Structure 1
Amino acid sequence: MTLTAFIMQFLAPPLGFIWLSVLGLLFSFRRFGRGCMILGLMLLFLFSIPGLGMLVTMPLLETNTEWSVDDLKDADAIVVPSGGYFPNEIRFVSGEHSIRRGDYGLWLHQQTGLPLVLTGGRTYHPEAPAESEVLREFLNLNPESVWAEKKSMNSFEHAVNLEKGFSERGWAKRIVLVSSAMHMVRLSAGFRARGFEVIQVSIHDHIAEFKQEAGFLEHVFPSWQGLKITRRAFYSYAGILSYLVRGRIGISDVFHSEPSYLAPPSFWLGRG
């Protein structure tokens, strides 16, 4: 079990707060126990408030939408990591994150003429198709013109395997990296650690969309959405911490001065 998986399994909200409350209950006959129980319940309540969760995510979310495709044309390729898939009754189907990333990456490819690279391995089963292959098929792209890297099993391996592939193809390591908003900091840090120059283009995920369209009351009243936001932020921070502790990335890979953009929100966002 990886450090990130361990943290998410045993410490991430809401379970971490529940463990704290249970510990307090076991020692409720002592002041320490009562304090733990009250603290656990208070944290559970506070972090179920979506507005507080959004505050925690602020360092992870890009906000700059003032850019154009001309700002990307100095790159050598557009890289899109897959974001999950699942088997239905007859075949594997790309998940929502994969589809949104791939669709926007394809649009940028069409606008700029830059090569499009999809990356993602056989995360479901060793004999299953790779996530990148499933996404390429879903987008109806020609296997001869769109490279699908098929070995990566996590965010860091995307960078490691593409570094090898770029070297074999004689490509310079200047890329436009397209991924979900909450995924971008950890993902891009891995690429910088492998010597890539990265132009980040984040696309909206559920949390970025909530930030755009939720009203005041939705931000201040406790809800499951608040815990969901907090848990997703916790996962991102845990992944970054894990990479730092294991020496996969450095502080300068996380805090950088390279271009970073957010895709403009859909015209339909908030109109449903």
Structure 2
Amino acid sequence: MQVLELLILPPASGLIAIVLGLLFWGRRLGKGLVFAGIAWLYVAATPLFAGWLLAGLERGYPVAPPLPEAAGAIVVLAGGRHPDAPEYGGETVSPHSLERLRYGARLHRDTGLPLLVSGGRVRGDEPAAEADLLADVLEGELGVAVRWRETESRNTCENALFSAHLLAEAGIEHALLVSHALHMPRAVWCFQRTELAVTPFPTLPMGDLSRHRGITVVLPQPRALWLTGQALHEYLGLVWYRVKWEVRIGK
């Protein structure tokens, strides 16, 4: 699945189209493929297109929503690891995970609600679960206690299933859910298929184009290409989860 996704997303998909077009250059199809590949790479690298994709994911999840009275915990979803960080003793959290746990720590201080961190070993051979890496930063560097560590999940739907089970054992039926804004549609979709009600508390929305002025919104930029890839990853994930997980955990 990961290799297929890499082939679908830019820049690989655009480059593949260009290479195929050059191989069949003598035919009308070849020239069309080259043009389509170049056009796709250009569009995918513009802030205008990246912002449009991101807005479709983030629009329904406002930052800092009203705090629900029924909430009994804060769930922070892991966002990856940095496997080679000798200055931290080996592994540490990725920038995505750090951004999420920082917001989780702030919500904990603001609300007093206990924290659950969720994330296991995606490949299966990593030394530590992602939840343990998150907890180490929260407790060791930010001075925030972690009540629960969900260490078995390998993807977002397992985050939801296993976190809901842990909180159900504690008698908690509603939690604040912390993840990146662009990841929130997939996360909420998964939690809606458990018995745990969640209120999304997204962090760091990236679809705002206000910092781009005039012509810069249509000028290709490396970060815009990366954001397009991130957004398309989420859209593909939503489709894949509806195919794979609806059968397994559908209501």
The TM-score, its normalising length taken from structure 2, stands at 0.86
Of 214, 228, 238 in structure 2, the residue corresponding to residue 230 of structure 1 is 228
Answer yes or no: is the 8 Å Cα contact 2:186–2:238 preserved in 1: yes
Aligned to 1:129: 128
Find out whether 1:166 has 2:164 as its counterpart. Answer: no
| SS state at 1:32 partner | helix
Of 70, 73, 77 in structure 2, the residue corresponding to residue 77 of structure 1 is 73
Of 9, 14, 26 in structure 1, the residue corresponding to residue 11 of structure 2 is 14
How far apart, CA to CA, are the structure 2 residues paired with 1:226 and 1:145? 35
The TM-score, its normalising length taken from structure 1, stands at 0.80
Q: In structure 1, what residue type is equivalent to 2:178?
A: V
| SS state at 1:139 partner | helix
Aligned to 2:243: 245
How far apart, CA to CA, are the structure 2 residues paired with 1:66 and 1:168? 28
Distance change (3 Å), C-alpha of 1:65 and 1:191: closer
Answer yes or no: is the 8 Å Cα contact 2:63–2:201 preserved in 1: no
CA RMSD, 1 decimal: 2.6
Structure 1: unaligned runs, 5 residues or longer? 254-272
More deviation, 73-82/120-129: 120-129
Identity of aligned residues (%): 28
How far apart, CA to CA, are the structure 1 residues paired with 2:178 and 2:210? 20
Answer yes or no: is the 8 Å Cα contact 1:73–1:114 preserved in 2: no
Distance change (3 Å), C-alpha of 1:127 and 1:42: closer
Runs (4 or more) in structure 1 with deviation over 4 Å come to 141-145
Find out whether 1:221 has 2:219 as its counterpart. Answer: yes
Answer yes or no: is the 8 Å Cα contact 1:72–1:112 preserved in 2: no
| SS state at 1:114 partner | coil
What is the deviation of 1:34? 1.4
Answer yes or no: is the 8 Å Cα contact 2:79–2:97 preserved in 1: yes
How far apart, CA to CA, are the structure 1 residues paired with 2:106 and 2:245? 35
Structure 2: unaligned runs, 5 residues or longer? none
What is the deviation of 1:158? 0.2
Distance change (3 Å), C-alpha of 1:66 and 1:127: closer
How far apart, CA to CA, are the structure 1 residues paired with 2:242 and 2:217? 32
Of 37, 57, 65 in structure 1, the residue corresponding to residue 34 of structure 2 is 37
More deviation, 134-143/30-39: 134-143
